[in-house]
Amino acid sequence: MKQGIHPEYREVVFQDISANHSFLTRSTIQTKETVKWEDGNEYPLVKVEISSKSHPFYTGQQRIMDTAGRVERFNRRYKKA
């Protein structure tokens, strides 16, 4: 591996601002903010708008559209005479 061309891979805290949920993982993202984590160490902080705690797919709030009914309605409305 070439030296000096790879970004620093380090532990980072991601905070979901909509669900007030934080998790610690590893990343190369750069940030100026830091936060004190549960283990007493200080880590870089990245604020995100959505994560698995607030995304409709993971929370069970996702709605499935009735595509079959829409296709039939479209075909009835615009079928050729």
pLDDT tens-place string over residues 5-61: 998 899 999 999 888 889 999 999 999 999 999 999 999 999 988 887 776 665 666
Alpha-carbon distance of 81 to 79, in angstroms, equals 6
Alpha-carbon distance of 47 to 23, in angstroms, equals 11
CB atoms within 10 A of CB 15: 16
Residue 22 φ/ψ region, left for φ over 0, alpha for ψ in the -120 to 50 degree band, beta for the rest: beta
Q: What tokens appear for 15 in the block?
A: 């905070």
- Of the candidates 3, 24, 2, the one whose C-alpha atom is nearest the C-alpha of residue 13 is 24
What is the pTM for the complete model shown? 0.65
